[in-house]
Chain A
């Protein structure tokens, strides 16, 4: 009975939403929205605070936000306070996993006996995945990617080691220190912005030429911090999930 009611409720809600958004004069169809009235156009033109002579790849110098990747410019510059919040969400989730599952000594055994080739092969692959993760984090301001996917890749390289070797156990203390120090660095960067420019989390470094590796001021630094932080947090979640309860 409960399930039928739930289905009816969902169907009614769905019908309500479709009915409401159809012919809704404020809800523009795909491609019909008037972008010039919206904040997103300024994010693309980089003219929220100043006028510029257009955004040209490899040429434009010291724009208000220097990331060639517009998504990164929004996530890590225009709305970096939200990103600090998202980092906190992951931090507290990972901390919660550790709090609930507790410190355990023994890890869960694999269902098969890993052989020598698997162990060595996974170590080689580990390095490749780890480097990809680092690359994605560092190039977040130029290409799709950034600290969050980069950190997830770093953690997935750890997962590989856990899955391919039944005796492997990472040193969690190191990850904890890394996680804490990176978090503190992020806050310190924000406070440095407050000291130097008067705004919390403001980019106080030179933005450089759009599209070069050393550009976009604080963004690559922030993304390295996020990458390491996310990587160590997800690794510690993996370690807790792969170790036995209690003990």
Chain B
């Protein structure tokens, strides 16, 4: 199975889909299913495009890390699509293109090609958010996203001027051979800031609030779960493979991350709108994930992305669906679970997993990450994670109490939504109780990564 097909098939279907409106949703689901089925036939290694070996041409890479990332992104993408395709069928072409972009982002082994896919997935994300009916927020997202990818491009241009190559593996080898690494810190800083916009690190995330506070059942889970997962995993991969952390760069990076985590949790704590609570919480989660990546805990960061993506998908879908009519003020939504036990159950599990309580996937991830950080004596990171978990615990439990308090509110949920979200919630429990699949996956992932040398301590 040639992995270039994971880009070519959705793209070709997108070109066809503009001709026939009725056919477009079918093509979307077909492409999405094709990729998920196709993923079980891929082999690790590189796939050259156009017949020119790297670094002269572009190649796509496949290893356990990327395969896991593709599974996470594509399965969640398909779930979002299946739940929304009836209502938002006019977005089918856009969704096909975003599928192309996200898969390309994860697989590409070339940094300029990564920029191209960043643009493709970015533009489709702006269009997906246009379903929020808040054009100003979408426009701000467009400006922020474009400035972000321009910063990334600027950093990449400087790297190309220095080393004359755009290939990730080639650059990473040349950078690791440098004795003095200060000359490359500026391009790395620019690329870090650029990608930081996409993974919504503070203070680069001014767009998040406008987008997610009006989010609907399509744009909410798509941006907060699918895109967030894909972007953090791509960002993480570059952090591990390419970046070196030295000198002032460490100070800037650690400030950004700690501010993201703590300010994100603080803002979630004092917010009264359910969507705002969720969106600030996901800002903090993004900071935590990047913190794990830069600490060298790549596989645990990957699992944290996975746990978060599943949880956010459940949380955002439920809240977006429940707030369609009356808004998302915490008092309005009081008691929505009284008559919807199954939805309430899924929501509760997702939020408890985010906090990191035992029995759920979030716990396994946080526990192991803390364990490793403790071994490395990175106490600042440990304090940040623990503090974040405590604050999360307070506001999520408060939120759950509100939503479970009996009241007269009658909100009904789609039966398909109940089923899909319940299945995802069960997944969180399964991974929370049985650790073996994660442990064995972790070992195969780490064989493919060259961790070490790039990690640092805060």
Main secondary structure of the interface of B (DSSP, over half): helix
> B155-167, CB under 8 A of A: which get 1 and which 0?
0001001111110
Most buried by A among B8, B15, B90: B15
| Among A16, A78, A92, contact of B50 (Cβ-Cβ < 8 Å) | A78
> A129-141, CB under 8 A of B: which get 1 and which 0?
0000000000000
Known contacts A39-B164, A85-B120; A49 and B56 CB within 8 A of each other = yes
The chain B residue with its CB closest to the CB of A24 is B183
Question: Bound state CA distance, A140 and B274, in angstroms?
Answer: 55
Q: Across the interface, which residues of A come within 8 angstroms of B162, CB to CB?
A: 24, 26-28
Known contacts A200-B8, A200-B50; A82 and B58 CB within 8 A of each other = yes
The chain B residue with its CB closest to the CB of A179 is B18
Question: Bound state CA distance, A79 and B163, in angstroms?
Answer: 18
A202 & B50 in contact (Cβ 8 Å cutoff): yes
| Among B8, B49, B120, B161, contact of A187 (Cβ-Cβ < 8 Å) | B8
Q: Across the interface, which residues of A come within 8 angstroms of B124, CB to CB?
A: 92
User: In the complex, which residues 110-135 of chain B have their Cβ closer than 8 Å to any Cβ of chain A?
Assistant: 112-113, 116-117, 119-120, 123-124, 126-127, 130
Known contacts A48-B53, A85-B120, A187-B8; A38 and B164 CB within 8 A of each other = yes
| Among A17, A37, A184, A187, contact of B186 (Cβ-Cβ < 8 Å) | A17
- Which of B32-40, B93-101, B434-442 sits within the interface? B93-101
| Among A42, A84, A176, contact of B18 (Cβ-Cβ < 8 Å) | A176
B120 & A49 in contact (Cβ 8 Å cutoff): no
Number of B residues, CB within 8 Å of A:
52
| Among A33, A43, A92, A176, contact of B120 (Cβ-Cβ < 8 Å) | A92
| Among A37, A85, A191, contact of B117 (Cβ-Cβ < 8 Å) | A85
A96 & B94 in contact (Cβ 8 Å cutoff): yes
A85 & B113 in contact (Cβ 8 Å cutoff): yes
B50 & A91 in contact (Cβ 8 Å cutoff): no
Residue A214 at the B interface, CB < 8 A? no
| Among B18, B56, B183, contact of A25 (Cβ-Cβ < 8 Å) | B183
Residue B19 at the A interface, CB < 8 A? yes
The chain A residue with its CB closest to the CB of B135 is A100
Q: Across the interface, which residues of B come within 8 angstroms of A24, CB to CB?
A: 162, 183
Q: Across the interface, which residues of A come within 8 angstroms of B41, CB to CB?
A: none
Residues of B within 8 A of A (CB): 2, 4-5, 8, 11-12, 14-16, 18-19, 47-53, 55-58, 90, 93-94, 97, 100-101, 104, 112-113, 116-117, 119-120, 123-124, 126-127, 130, 158, 161-166, 178, 183-186
The chain B residue with its CB closest to the CB of A173 is B19
B53 & A39 in contact (Cβ 8 Å cutoff): no
B119 & A89 in contact (Cβ 8 Å cutoff): yes
A229 to chain B minimum Cβ distance, whole angstroms, is: 9
Known contacts A26-B183, A27-B161, A96-B123; A81 and B50 CB within 8 A of each other = yes
Question: Bound state CA distance, A48 and B120, in angstroms?
Answer: 29
Main secondary structure of the interface of A (DSSP, over half): helix
Q: Across the interface, which residues of A come within 8 angstroms of B117, CB to CB?
A: 85
A-B contact pairs, 22 of them (CB 8 A): A24-B162, A24-B183, A26-B184, A28-B161, A38-B163, A39-B165, A39-B166, A43-B56, A49-B52, A80-B50, A89-B116, A92-B124, A96-B94, A96-B127, A96-B130, A184-B16, A190-B8, A199-B49, A200-B4, A200-B47, A201-B4, A202-B51
A203 & B97 in contact (Cβ 8 Å cutoff): no
Residue A57 at the B interface, CB < 8 A? no
Residues of A within 8 A of B (CB): 16-17, 20-21, 24-28, 33, 35, 37-40, 42-43, 48-49, 64, 77-82, 84-86, 88-89, 91-93, 95-96, 99-100, 176-177, 179-180, 183-184, 187-188, 190-191, 193-194, 197, 199-203
B113 & A180 in contact (Cβ 8 Å cutoff): no
Q: Across the interface, which residues of A come within 8 angstroms of B130, CB to CB?
A: 96, 99-100
A184 & B48 in contact (Cβ 8 Å cutoff): no
A105 to chain B minimum Cβ distance, whole angstroms, is: 18
Most buried by A among B18, B51, B124: B51
B56 & A16 in contact (Cβ 8 Å cutoff): no
A20 & B18 in contact (Cβ 8 Å cutoff): no
B233 to chain A minimum Cβ distance, whole angstroms, is: 19
B15 & A187 in contact (Cβ 8 Å cutoff): yes
A88 & B11 in contact (Cβ 8 Å cutoff): yes
A201 & B116 in contact (Cβ 8 Å cutoff): no
A81 to chain B minimum Cβ distance, whole angstroms, is: 4
Q: Across the interface, which residues of A come within 8 angstroms of B120, CB to CB?
A: 85, 88-89, 92
B94 & A99 in contact (Cβ 8 Å cutoff): yes
A99 & B90 in contact (Cβ 8 Å cutoff): yes
Question: Bound state CA distance, A96 and B18, in angstroms?
Answer: 12
Question: Bound state CA distance, A197 and B316, in angstroms?
Answer: 46
